[in-house]
A and B are shown apart, each in its own frame.
Chain A
Amino acid sequence: MFGPETLFLAIPLLIVVTLSGGAFVGLSQRDLRRELKAWREGGLISADQAAAIQTRHAEVIQRERRDRLATILGILGAVVVALGVILFYAANWSEISRWVRLVALVSGIATLYFIGYVLRERRGHQNIGHGFIFLAAMLFGAALFLVDQMYHVQAHDPLAFLWWTIAAAGVGLVIRSAPIIALALLTFFAWLVYELVDLGYEEVNVLYFPALLGLYGLALYAAGTGAEPWLSRVNAARAMRVVGFAIALLILFGLSFRYGYGQEGGERPSGFALYLLTAFACAVAAGVAFLAIRRRRVGTFVEAALIMVSGVLMLLIVFKPEVGGGQDFEDFSSGAKLYPLLFNALLALVVLGSMFLGFIRDEVWLANGGVGYASLLVLARFVDFEAWSMLSRSLVFMASGLVVVGLAYALERGSLPLEERGE
């Protein structure tokens, strides 16, 4: 029943789980041993103190790693089970009456919430209890889909995703669960997609579709970063930043292709689509303003600038489309060039910025995300045979590679002691 549409929910969920799991916290054992040796040799600590620090650190790290792994496995397991349940009900197996299916599903939701609550609040099993609650939140979506199936609601009806968003957001905020809040943000993304498909604007510039979704991602990231002190109290900041980052970069990546630009422009969006565009653009601007006012962390200016430029470009492709001569890609002189070039350049800056910010702020997921999208960008441009000539791509690759090597040299030189720099 939901075939490929379900996947686009699963894939971002897996991205979120992977990114939010990230690497391991803090210094590795090897790094700490090296540091402790340097401190001992510098006379800062004694050998006994070094041994005590090493032992204590090993215990803390082991506990944190076990907890993090338990959380990731719990969430991953819950996602896989929930998708299996959705598929089971989607198969519409007539051997089980629809009433039995419905009762099984709603009683499953109640049971899972109860077990999750008891494990989490009464027995101290925070992680596995959380996994049960997450599964219950996922199954609520399955229950809504089942009701839609029972009454043959339109296949692309978006309302179920909106109800799911409200339910998941409520539970996520009450128990302060980043994964469940991330689920709410993703189901809202699904609602947006289905709603835009449902609007079915025929003569409107089709680029408003990815632009609106991209602005949603940017708004999440900007708000999650700008209002982090307040949103962190309910554990929403990280979920908003991770989901926003994944969505925004996915859209930027899509807009870096020349396909889809070479068309006759089309009308500007109006009505509901325009309201959404305006709302998300305002949210991006507000998030950037918060960042600019707070400016508490290293690289905030760079972050704010990249968000702002991304948002402005996304609005420009909607309201000032590049009207090309068609999509004859055998002739590289035809078709849109400016916006694809700009988005490629912007994407390169964003992935470099993500890696930079991720490493200096010790946000491993951000660095990992930057590396992941950088790899994707390099691979895509390398095999993008029909859109750009080999000669132009070769020049861009070489120039970009030299710039990145230059950055690496500058970073390494900056970390060398003065005498080794020859100063």
Chain B
Amino acid sequence: MNFEEVATNLLGKRKDELLKELYELSVEYRKEEELYSILIQLHNEKKIDVISAFEQIQRDNESYDFFMLQRMLERILPKINYDSVESVMKVLKRCMILVTGNMTSGLLVNPFIEFCKQNEKRIEEALGLSLKSLDKEIDFISIVLLAGLEVDFDKYYKQLEILIGDLDEIVQIGAVRVLGQFYSQSETRNIHKSFELLKKVIHETEKVNIKEVALKSLCKLLILDVKLEKEGIEIIEHVLFKPTDTMLYNIAELLFFYNKNLSWKLKDYLWSQLKAINPKHNDTIRNIDHALYSIAEENKSKAIQYLEKILLENLNGIGVENFCVFKSFLMKNEKSLNYLVTKWLLSKNITLCKYAYELIPSSENGRAISIDKRLALLLKKEDYLFLAKKSCGYLFTKPVSALSYLVSLLESSPFDKGIIDIEELIYDPILINYSGKTREYLYKIYSQSSAKVRNSLDRVTKRLDKYLNEIKSINYIAEFEPTSKQREAYSRYWNDSFSAKDLQPKGFFSSFFKTQVLLYGSSSINYIIHNPNEKGQRQEVFMHPQTISTELPRMSIINPIVLDYRLTMFRVEGCEK
């Protein structure tokens, strides 16, 4: 497709048709950059009006894909001419609002800065417009100031200083935000100048919103010049005397995005400030999670140290479950997982022991883990039984994990006397409760185990077989069965419990689909209509059975009280906190 062909497709189209055509071109046209050049040319020659077409863009329009068009705008905006800056700002705002909360929401900022930089008049006009109609949703002030600072630093820095003193909070925030954004490391003079300015703002303002933005800007300056760190930390301490959710979010964001740029001293300090995180603030937690992952790749022990600190200082609903990215790191690093589980089970701290459970994925019956070999070197005789009890108490509902850990204790323990106690725990509560998956696991590891472990396993499996055979030999006695009324009541109770689950909100994945219930049959027939004028295409989908099996601990039915009591005792025995 060449210039003429593209032009033929686009010329004379109405605004709504133009977007559709642009989209189709972006799909069909393989050479992306070439297409963008043609579009810029057509626009600048006023043959088409891209900006006015984007004024009506919608996110859920079936004729085009919003994100592809947004990308197109991102690429052509810096190079197009347009008389009305206001119109461009409107388009920008519309696009940004349509993707609020989405990672792509900031994609158009830099192209707009580039657009403004092409002509200083655009900057002046945009700044005027931003100050005239203050926008709470989009911070045009800082965007335009950034463009200005790049064009004429002194002029716009003065402007910035004036705006910081403005009476309106929106204006102040916009200006303060810019202070952390426009430097390269060579501009030490300007960095110091801005540092002083921020210091002044922080000490003088009473407004929390401004302090929140100032904190972020300040941290960015500290990244640029380590010399400022000592004084900067003192200022941050002052701000964080009363931390808000946004301040903690800002810190978490910095730790995530600037992990590699922050010094260890500053990192240590900022991590130590992540107390009292609001468990509902998912974005903050997500940023911490990613930051932990980045640190773990660099320095595992630091990551663990930070994680422990957060877990112990945020006892308000934040647990290991919240850090799935970091967990995925542990899944890939068996040694780290074993180290952390062993460390936490040994910690005598109930909170950390609970989190040891969360470290292991909840799928199936838990994955196999083992004692950390380095930590094992430091253990005394009684520590083995202590760890065995803790693993039973905390990992009980992930039986393969609990069992594998117990077996690893058997394997690594140099003390013969404690073996019987660990063996007893392998039998009861683990094997006696879960004789399915755990048995499979034992078969799997048997041949690789030492003679010492094999002897123990022989003894416990023999006991288990005896117990299971006795159960099997029990006669069916109708008199012991629950009455029909009880059965009905239980069935109702069970169904109600499930119905209640059905009413729960849809998950992320299921929200994409519409559920259809088939009352009869084993396949579903649908007619897919591609073109309204054509007959639909018949499609038959055969249903396949899906089963999930899970093993319930026997004693939760037979002997729940004692099971509960024993597990509780295993958990708390010997713990200090």
A and B part of one assembly: no
Interface residues of B (CB under 8 A from A): none
Interface residues of A (CB under 8 A from B): none
